[in-house]
Amino acid sequence: MKLIDLSHPLFDGMPVYPGAESPHFEAVATVGQDGYAEKRITFFSHTGTHLDAPSHILARGLSLDRLPVDHFAGSASVLDFSSDSRLSIEVDDLIPYRYLIESSDFILIHTGWSRHWGRASYHTGYPVLSVNAADWICGFGLKGLGVDAISVDPPQATGLPVHRRLLEHRMILVENLNRLQDLPQSGVTFFAFPLRIQDGDGSPVRAVAMI
């Protein structure tokens, strides 16, 4: 068994979605002065490697605390589009992976975009599912989908249509994954456990793959 950490670290000044605030870590106690260490942490719920619950977009969508804990773990397949220059992943691009998708709880879309992490180029130009491809994916009863990019929708999208279609089918979305290039295509168990926030619309996660 091998565990691979798929998460970006959280720290002051880290990359965040344009317009969002960077997390802030403040030492409120130290071992030297107080005999123990403790930090006050302030961050948006969609900071770093994080999970979107259906309630992120849908007024009546399930929040984090209303999803069963087994919804955050399961078998996964990696769909590799890292060698392509396309902006949109279409149904025809996914059909060759159909047998993998059918046998998985999660699909992880490897675009290679994590190589831009920390640069302005990370926020634009990343490949995403087309709306038709998202609709097609919804037919497989997946628990969720993960990407190594900042969003499952392009930055100019109005109404976040890909988010909406996937979340309407109770899928969770994990964004800002890292190291998908280190995973095999199949034989992966994926874990992305959020904080159990009451009425939570999202949460940073420690995403891990077990091979």
Helix residue spans in 60-186 (DSSP H)? 91-94, 98-102, 131-137, 161-168
Assigned architecture for domain 3-11+45-210: 3-Layer(bba) Sandwich (3.50)
Residues with Cβ within 8 Å of 152's Cβ and at least 6 positions away in sequence, in order, are 128, 129, 134, 145, 162, 163, 166, 173, 175
Residues with Cβ within 8 Å of 80's Cβ and at least 6 positions away in sequence, in order, are 110, 185
Residue labelled with tokens 């709306």: 131
DSSP state, residue 168: H
* Per-residue pLDDT in tens (0 to 9) along the chain, 211 residues: 999 999 999 999 999 998 899 999 999 999 999 999 999 999 999 999 999 999 999 999 999 999 999 999 999 999 999 987 789 999 999 999 999 999 999 999 999 999 999 999 999 999 999 999 999 999 999 999 999 999 999 998 899 999 999 999 999 999 999 999 999 999 999 999 999 999 999 999 999 999 9
Residue 43 tokens, joined: 């961050």
Beta carbons of 211 and 188 less than 8 angstroms apart: yes
Residue 136 tokens, joined: 């097609």
H or E element, residue 5:
strand 3-5
H or E element, residue 34:
helix 31-34
Beta carbons of 202 and 45 less than 8 angstroms apart: yes
